[in-house]
Amino acid sequence: MFVLAMALASCLGLKRTEWALLLLVSALVLAAELINTAIERAVDLACGGELHPLAKLAKDTASGAVLVCAAAAAAVGIIIMGPPLWRLLVT
C-alpha cells in the first residue's frame, strides 16, 4: 500500500510539505506495526504458548493501535491527495 501511495503522490506532483506528511504518517504506521509485533512476541514468550485472557487483551490493544495509526494515515492521504486526484479525474 505504501508503494502505491507514493506512486500516486509522485504522479500528482505534491509539494515538499505534503510529501513530508505522507512519509511521516507512513513511518508512524510502520513503527506501530513493529511495536505490535514486538508486543505479540513478548506476550507469546511470557505465556509459554497458553492462551490467557490478559494476553489476548494485550495483543488486541496493540493491534488496535495499529488500526488507529492506519486510519489516521488514510485520512491524511485523502486530505492531501484527494483534491489533486479529483482535479485530475474530473478534467
Give Rg (Cα) of the chain: 18
Give me the active site residues, please. 33
Cα–Cα distance measured from residue 47 to residue 66, given in angstroms and rounded to the nearest whole number: 22
What stretches of the chain show up as alpha helix (H) in DSSP? 2-12, 16-47, 53-90
